[in-house]
């Protein structure tokens, strides 16, 4: 019985790290650009499908893990240049309208390319099987998922906290005008940040592929969870996305053991509790 | 040729006509003050030069190149740095990060601004939001210097600061002037202006009402009474 809980806690950590990667992208984009990206879940879905196709075509998981997120980021970069940047100055409702449009295009595009029925994605050969620790056995892939996401999270933290690019992103979340006055090309910073944030959703999609498969309608559900995480953690906060993601992952995973029907309910219950106690989220600022 | 030439610019906030044909010039190495009552258009003049406000007509030429219509960051890269009235310190960044993101090639290095403001060096690991008003102003000036501009625009740098700190800022401005950097200073404190400036302009209701050298201005008390009496 104890092993079952340990199993679910590890599952929850893995799921939580996926949620973290999705949400941290959403929150960085919101923090710097003050832009609400409702296409975030659809880009995650695209990551799942790219994982499927790249694995099917080459059989190389590492290649999929590298190329998939980059392809999603490149697409986001193009979409930002052509479309997204034209609506930054408009109110949030316009952001929502245009990104819901982008999400629908991606969703319908996925149906045209991959069909309306989902695809299951095979475990990569190298990560098949289980790791045995005493009496306890745990799937290799899920362990890899936790460790790999933690490394990515650490690298992202270094990027945001220890580089000039990261300092500009944080400064820009306070005042884009002042960043421009210091001679930084704010448009380039916006494009790169949008591509980075969406690329992280793509990476989360690729990583979750072998566990949950790919489905054209998975975007809205993922988007909903990402917003819950961001609201719990606090808009624009890296630490908030991490803690919020892990919290939701653990709640969801443990609830499937304790009370499966209530898993979704508890996620939104957790969000409501946090909002009541701390309206700006755990790490949010007013 | 003047370093900066502002010719007959008209700037608006929404429908309100704030600058009604402002013209002024700044030469290499000059320190010019722009005086005038509140609401005369001093801040708007600086914001128009920096590209934050886009004048509807007129011309702004910097080193002979047209600046109107360029992006804010392009004007900054051309060599114009603005220290805004609200100072624009990034509270989430440390003092040193505030400085580092502004560094561009040139004469001023990080160590130079720390020499100029030893207090910033002591507080380099503090968050920008932990600074006093005077320290914030020092940081804002230091950051602008690291941008290595040819022209520094300062919007009321001594506003709200204790007299001791004002003296310190004045000393620094004298040092900056000695390096040959051109400065356009908006300031309410006449004593400060008279210590520093080569020439003065007075703005009145969006127009230049007076222009004169420091000596002329000092001799002509009627200018003060007419345009500046309320905040003399």
Closest CB to B76: pick one of A164, A171, A180.
A180
Chain B contact for A108 (CB, 8 A cutoff) = no
Checking if the pLDDT of A116 tops 50, the result is yes
Tell me, what's the pLDDT at A1?
63
Checking if the pLDDT of A140 tops 50, the result is yes
Each domain of chain A, given as residue ranges in start order, spans: 17-214
DSSP string covering A87-143: GTTS-HHHHHHHHHHHHHHHHHHHHHHH-SS-B--PPPGGG-SEEEETTEEEEHHHH
In terms of pTM, does the model score above 0.90?
yes
DSSP string covering B85-103: TT----TTSBHHHHHHTT-
Mean pLDDT of B145-159: 95
Distance of CA B52 to the CA centre of its chain: 14
Q: What is the least distance, in Å, from the CA of B147 to any CA of chain A?
A: 7
Residues in A closer than 8 angstroms to B92, CB to CB, are: 170-171, 173-174
Which stretch of DSSP H or E encloses residue A210?
A: helix A186-212
Mean pLDDT of B112-127: 95
pLDDT digits (tens, 9 = 90+) for B100-111: 999 999 999 999
pLDDT digits (tens, 9 = 90+) for A193-243: 999 999 999 999 999 999 999 999 999 999 999 999 999 998 888 999 999
Residues in B closer than 8 angstroms to A181, CB to CB, are: 50, 52, 72-73, 76, 81-82, 84, 88
Checking if the pLDDT of A54 tops 90, the result is yes
Question: Which one is predicted more confidently, B229 or A103?
Answer: A103
Give chain B's largest Cα–Cα span.
49
Q: Report residue A286's pLDDT band, with 50, 70 and 90 as the boundaries.
A: low
Mean pLDDT of A253-261: 87
pLDDT digits (tens, 9 = 90+) for A145-193: 999 999 999 999 999 999 999 999 999 999 999 999 999 999 999 999 9
Q: What is the mean pLDDT of chain A?
A: 93
The reply to whether residue A167 touches residue B100, judged by beta carbons under 8 angstroms, is: yes
Q: Report residue B130's pLDDT band, with 50, 70 and 90 as the boundaries.
A: very high
Tell me, what's the pLDDT at B231?
47
Tell me, what's the pLDDT at A3?
79
Q: What is the least distance, in Å, from the CA of A50 to any CA of chain B?
A: 37
Chain B contact for A251 (CB, 8 A cutoff) = no
Using CA atoms, how far apart are residues A103 and A110, in angstroms rounded to an integer?
A: 10
Each domain of chain B, given as residue ranges in start order, spans: 1-79+183-232
Mean pLDDT of B67-85: 96
DSSP string covering chain B: --SEEEEEEEEEETTEEEEEEEEEEE-TT-EEEEEE-TTSSHHHHHHHHHTSS--SEEEEEETTEE-TT--HHHHHHHTEEEE-TT----TTSBHHHHHHTT--SSS--HHHHHHH-HHHHHTTTSBGGGS-HHHHHHHHHHHHHHT--SEEEEE-TTTT--HHHHHHHHHHHHHHHHTT-EEEEE-S-HHHHHHH-SEEEEEETTEEEEEEEHHHHHH-HHHIIIIIGGG-
Residues 122-151 on B with a CB inside 8 Å of A are: 143, 147
Chain A contact for B73 (CB, 8 A cutoff) = yes
Checking if the pLDDT of B232 tops 50, the result is no
Residues 32-71 on B with a CB inside 8 Å of A are: 50, 52, 71
pLDDT digits (tens, 9 = 90+) for A181-193: 999 999 999 999 9
Chain A contact for B105 (CB, 8 A cutoff) = no
The reply to whether residue A180 touches residue B72, judged by beta carbons under 8 angstroms, is: yes
pLDDT digits (tens, 9 = 90+) for A39-49: 999 999 999 99
Checking if the pLDDT of A260 tops 80, the result is yes
Tell me, what's the pLDDT at B229?
64
Residues in B closer than 8 angstroms to A174, CB to CB, are: 90-92
Closest CB to A164: pick one of B77, B88, B100.
B100
Of the candidates B12, B20, B89, the one whose C-alpha atom is nearest the C-alpha of residue B47 is: B12
Chain B contact for A85 (CB, 8 A cutoff) = no
Size of interface A-B (CB pairs under 8 A): 62
Structure ipTM: 0.94
Q: Report residue A264's pLDDT band, with 50, 70 and 90 as the boundaries.
A: confident
Q: What is the mean pLDDT of chain B?
A: 93
Chain B contact for A177 (CB, 8 A cutoff) = yes
Tell me, what's the pLDDT at A51?
96
The reply to whether residue A174 touches residue B91, judged by beta carbons under 8 angstroms, is: yes
The reply to whether residue B81 touches residue A181, judged by beta carbons under 8 angstroms, is: yes
pLDDT digits (tens, 9 = 90+) for B8-65: 999 999 889 999 999 999 999 999 999 998 889 999 999 999 999 999 999 999 999 9
Tell me, what's the pLDDT at B230?
54
Chain B residue whose CA is closest to A185: B73
Three-state helix/strand/coil letters over B201-226: EEEECCEEEEEEEHHHHHHCHHHHHH
The reply to whether residue A179 touches residue B101, judged by beta carbons under 8 angstroms, is: yes
Tell me, what's the pLDDT at A217?
95
Chain B contact for A181 (CB, 8 A cutoff) = yes
Which one of B88, B106, B154 makes the best mutation probe of the A interface by having the most chain A beta carbons within 10 Å?
A: B88
Residues 182-221 on A with a CB inside 8 Å of B are: 182-187
Closest CB to B92: pick one of A174, A178, A181.
A174
Residues in A closer than 8 angstroms to B143, CB to CB, are: 182
Chain B residue whose CA is closest to A171: B90
CATH number for the domain whose boundaries are B1-79+183-232 = 3.40.50.300
Q: B133 — phi, psi (to 5°)? A: -55, -45
Chain A contact for B152 (CB, 8 A cutoff) = no
């Amino acid at each position: 019985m104890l092993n079952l809980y340990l199993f679910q806690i590890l599952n929850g950590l893995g799921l939580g790290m996926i949620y973290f990667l999705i949400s941290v992208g959403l929150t960085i984009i919101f923090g710097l650009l003050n832009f609400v990206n409702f296409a975030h879940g659809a880009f995650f879905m695209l990551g799942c499908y790219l994982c499927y196709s790249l694995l099917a075509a080459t059989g190389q998981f590492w290649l999929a893990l590298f190329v998939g997120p980059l392809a999603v980021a490149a697409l986001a970069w193009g979409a930002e240049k052509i479309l997204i940047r034209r609506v930054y100055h408009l109110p949030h409702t316009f952001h929502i309208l245009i990104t819901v449009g982008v999400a629908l295009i991606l969703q319908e595009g996925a149906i045209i390319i991959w069909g309306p029925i989902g695809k299951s994605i095979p475990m990569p050969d190298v990560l098949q099987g289980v790791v045995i620790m005493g009496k306890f056995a745990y799937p290799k892939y899920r362990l890899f998922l936790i460790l790999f996401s933690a490394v990515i999270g650490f690298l992202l933290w270094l990027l945001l906290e220890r580089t000039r690019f990261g300092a500009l992103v944080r400064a820009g979340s306070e005042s884009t005008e002042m960043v421009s006055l210091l001679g930084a090309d704010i448009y380039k910073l916006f494009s790169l940040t949008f591509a980075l944030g969406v690329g992280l959703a793509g990476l989360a999609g690729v990583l979750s592929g072998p566990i949950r498969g790919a489905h054209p309608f998975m975007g809205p559900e993922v988007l909903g969870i990402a917003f819950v995480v961001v609201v719990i953690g606090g808009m624009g906060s890296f630490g908030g996305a991490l803690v919020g993601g892990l919290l939701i992952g653990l709640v969801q995973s443990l609830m499937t053991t304790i009370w499966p029907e209530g898993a979704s309910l508890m996620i939104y219950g957790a969000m409501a509790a946090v909002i009541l106690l701390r309206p700006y989220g755990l790490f949010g600022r007013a | 040729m003047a370093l900066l030439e502002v010719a007959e610019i008209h700037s608006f906030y929404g429908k309100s006509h704030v600058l009604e044909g402002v013209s002024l010039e700044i030469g290499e190495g000059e320190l010019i003050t722009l005086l005038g009552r509140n609401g005369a258009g001093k801040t708007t003049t600086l914001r128009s030069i920096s590209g934050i406000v886009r004048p509807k007509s007129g011309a702004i030429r910097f080193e002979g190149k047209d600046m109107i219509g360029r992006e804010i960051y392009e004007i900054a890269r051309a060599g114009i740095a603005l220290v805004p009235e609200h100072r624009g310190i990034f509270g989430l960044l440390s003092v040193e990060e505030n400085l580092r993101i502004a560094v561009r090639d040139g004469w001023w290095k990080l160590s130079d601004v720390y020499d100029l403001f030893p207090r910033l060096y002591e507080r380099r690991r503090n968050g920008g939001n932990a600074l006093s008003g005077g320290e914030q102003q020092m940081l804002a000036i230091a950051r602008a210097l690291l941008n290595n501009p040819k022209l520094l625009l300062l919007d009321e740098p001594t506003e709200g600061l204790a007299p001791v700190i004002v003296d310190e800022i004045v000393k620094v401005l004298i040092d900056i002037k000695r390096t040959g950097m051109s400065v356009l200073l908006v300031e309410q404190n006449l004593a400060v202006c008279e210590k520093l400036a080569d020439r003065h302009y007075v703005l009145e209701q969006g127009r230049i009402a007076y222009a004169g050298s420091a000596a002329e201005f000092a001799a002509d008390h009627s200018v003060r009474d007419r345009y500046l009496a309320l905040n003399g």
